[in-house]
Chain A
Amino acid sequence: MVAARSLAARRPLRRVFSLLLACAAALQAAEITTSLEPPAVPAGQGATLTIRVVGGNVTKLTAADPPPNLILNGPSQGREIRSINGVTTASLTLTYQLGSLTPGDYAIAPFTLVVDGAEVQTEPFQLKVLPSASQAPAGLASGAGTGAPPPAPPTAAQGDFGFLTVELASKSRQHIWVGEIAPVRIQAWIPSEARANFSSQLQTVGSSFTLHHLSDQPQQSVQESQGQAFRVLTWYGGLSATKDGTYPPDLSLKATVARRDPSPPKGNSPFDALFGRMIQQDVVLRSKTDPSANLEIRPLPEADRPPDFGGAVGKFSFAKALIPSDWRTGEPQSIAAEITGEGNFQLLQQPTLTPAADWKTYSGSTSFAPGDLASFSGTSSFRFNGVPSRAGAYDLHLAFSFFDPDQGRFQTAESAPQKVAISGPDVIPPPPVAAPDPTPAPPPKAQLPAPPRPQDSAVASLRPLVFRPAFHQIVANCAAAALLGLLLRGTRARWANPQRRARAAQDRALRQALDHAASLAQRGDAPGFFAAGRRALQARLATLWQRPGSALALADLAEKLPPDSPVIAFFRQADQAAFSPPMPFAPSPLPEAQALLEQALQSLNIPSGSAASPP
């Protein structure tokens, strides 16, 4: 809650000046924050009002006069100086304690502060004081004033250390309804001279009953039962049952009880005589479980049960119903309702719009404001959307149903009717979907579409060929055969190549001519040697020049070879030997001719030594 407001002074000029000063101060540095926590407290407990001024110098603080029955204590002051990033700020915190012993709503007037010379007022505060936690909730009679006779202890042994009693707070009936949270008074009776420490919360034994909204602080008193004084602690809460029947509300409470030993002293100790011997024991205080403590749980009647009844048991009525008066078809608007009363608010359903025809409503939000600390009473607020589907003028109201436990019958609460005008075209709702049959027939047994086969078929392996080693063997054999075929085809093609065959024939002719020349040279037949040598060269030149070797003459060689080529020289000598035979007894020209043939073959890339030469 933040509030900082400049106020005027009494005179106009002073008012304007103060306002400007306060604004300037607020703009510059001064920041005032206030808070009241908690905003609602039980009677007898306090709330804290905090006023914090940051960055200003408070020279005066004037607290408003508290309203009657409100206690205002304070202030206590606290100062704090902070330095953040080189900026130093000082703050002053003023704290008040507020509270009251009387439940009610208290309005606290604004506080006035003078900060840096300017008057500043806080906002007014609201404090809600609820009934005391130790008092009976609304609608419950206090145990001290009922005039009921004090109960007897459950058993003598248990009574030595204390016991519990449970009784319905309402004396008008001795039964409760299923689903009802019945207000009960639970008392723990502890011998007055004993000291007890409770080590657990009150809890039910068994699953017949459930405790709700148990008050936090027990109310304490001293009562006498059967000539013995007891210290009585009283809680208030709600007891609900989930099934009908007759049961004792069995409760338990763990405690450590120390009390004087009632047996006579055994020794002669003076301290025992003075103070008595104390005995301490961990006990579980139980309530009575004999038939006299039974509670009758009645089931809710089935007859006349309204269709919108959701289980709410109690007394409820409309506190407020807000239905907009102008509507347009198909457009949602918010509807609000407040339901107040006492009972089981958790099961209170959202009220329905009546008449419901031509309307569609949606689930909305719900909030509950307790009227007492035990939440027996209070107000439930509902807010939900409605959409009209047909134009026209209607008298609408809200309604809800509940079960009145005192009257023992269902009630329907209605809000005051309200006139509503709806405009716009009618919205045709979609056709209702047929509700599914709650007990569907069992599905028919499925039948196979094809009948059994009359004939058997051939037996086969479920393991296909591809997953068997034979498949890989077949594929490998086929691949090998295909490879072999390709190899054969390559070989055949190589052997059938005509160029290769011609080259082989020329090589063969060259080889034969050279062999012949060598044999002729060995015999000394020079003309024959030259003729064979020329054939060999012709065969070689035919391979090189791709021409018939026998047609190559000296004139052809002179065109393509240099004049000093040994091939031309050998051809000239071969012509000379053919047309002018050597003289008798002339030295043989064969050695030089053999060397010349060797040179000629080398010039035609025939390796040395391949020419015919005598051994």
Chain B
Amino acid sequence: MSLLRRQPWLLLLPLLAQAAPLQASSAQAAQAALAAGDFARAASAYQLLIDAEGPSASRLYQLGSAHFALGQFGPAVLAFERAALLAPRAADIQANLQQARQSAAPSAVPETGLTLAAALRWLSLNEWSWLAAAGCAGLAVLSLAWGLRGFPSPRAARAARLTLALSLSSAVLASGALWQRRGEAHWGIVLDPDPVLRLSPFAEAAPAGPLHTGGRIILGPRVQGWTRVALPESPSAGWLPNTAFAPLIPPATTP
């Protein structure tokens, strides 16, 4: 009892022990449904798993595969895009994402070639963030060490110069990458199989431009169930109902 008084978190151990089998069982059920070809059940199970326990690259990948098999190309592209957000260098995710995009919009031009955008996506936004934070932390530690004791010995000075170069390059590179990709916070994916971009935020408004399911859109302000969206690399802009798309990065949930 005295131990429990000193360490109260030990009371949570039985709950954790129960949660682990639940997690394993739901993931296994989803996996089994996918393997059995019951894609509707698999999609539902993976969505429930993600909502309950959080996303992982594999779960999003399986969810995208299930949606794709159901012919739901918009949700499939969304799931694969989110999986690529977590694991940008996974070849299977990239391949399936390309296929889902192609199936969603056969006339769309696939992204090819070694572009700056592709190079910046070699790391995920999270990885770029941690790299930038690590660079900043390295610079801070170096500055403190220099201020407190300096680097009296040549060996210490060499180590300090190396640390400075690494930290500074990491911070600058990661900050530049994050700055270039800052717009991804406002990206969305069209889910509606027959989306119509409207000139005004109501259903009877005139169409404003071409749009296809699974396409990327840039989200703007929201007005009563409608969101003003723009199309990347296109001057078209208009309004979409909020049910016709989903943000690539879910909004922060407030406890």
Contact = CB atoms under 8 A, between A and B. Distances in A.
Nearest to B178: A466
A465 B124 CA distance: 10
B143 A481 contact: yes
A452 interface: yes
B120 interface: no
A455 interface: yes
A134 to B, nearest CB: 52
B129 interface: yes
B251 to A, nearest CB: 8
Contacts, number: 145
A29 interface: no
A464 interface: yes
B27 A459 contact: no
Interface stretch (B9-17, B96-104, B210-218, B220-228): B96-104
A560 interface: no
B140 A456 contact: no
Contacts of A478: 133, 136-137, 139-140
A446 B102 contact: yes
Contacts of B136: 474-475, 478-479, 482
Given A484-B143, A485-B140, A450 B96 contact: yes
A460 interface: yes
Given A453-B92, A464-B126, A487 B103 contact: no
B99 A457 contact: no
B55 A453 contact: no
A177 to B, nearest CB: 45
Nearest to B137: A478
A456 B59 contact: yes
Interface residues of B, number: 55
B114 to A, nearest CB: 21
B17 to A, nearest CB: 18
A482 B139 contact: yes
A480 B140 CA distance: 8
B129 A452 contact: no
Contacts of A449: 92, 95-96, 99
Contacts of B57: 457, 460
Interface string B91-125: 11101100110110000000000000000000011
A492 interface: yes
Contact of B132 (A459, A466, A468, A485): A466
Interface string A182-219: 00000000000000000000000000000000000000
B53 interface: yes
A482 B99 contact: no
B139 A463 contact: no
Scoring A471, A487, A490 by chain B CB atoms within 10 A of each residue's CB, the highest score goes to A471
Q: List 8 A-B pairs, minimum CB-CB distance, nearest first.
A: A488-B147, A485-B143, A450-B92, A465-B129, A485-B147, A464-B125, A481-B140, A478-B136
Given A459-B55, A465-B126, 16 more contacts: A446-B68, A446-B99, A448-B95, A456-B58, A457-B56, A465-B125, A466-B126, A466-B178, A474-B136, A479-B136, A481-B143, A482-B140, A483-B143, A485-B143, A486-B146, A486-B147
13 contacts: A447-B99, A453-B92, A457-B58, A457-B87, A459-B54, A462-B85, A462-B250, A466-B132, A471-B129, A474-B133, A482-B144, A486-B147, A489-B150
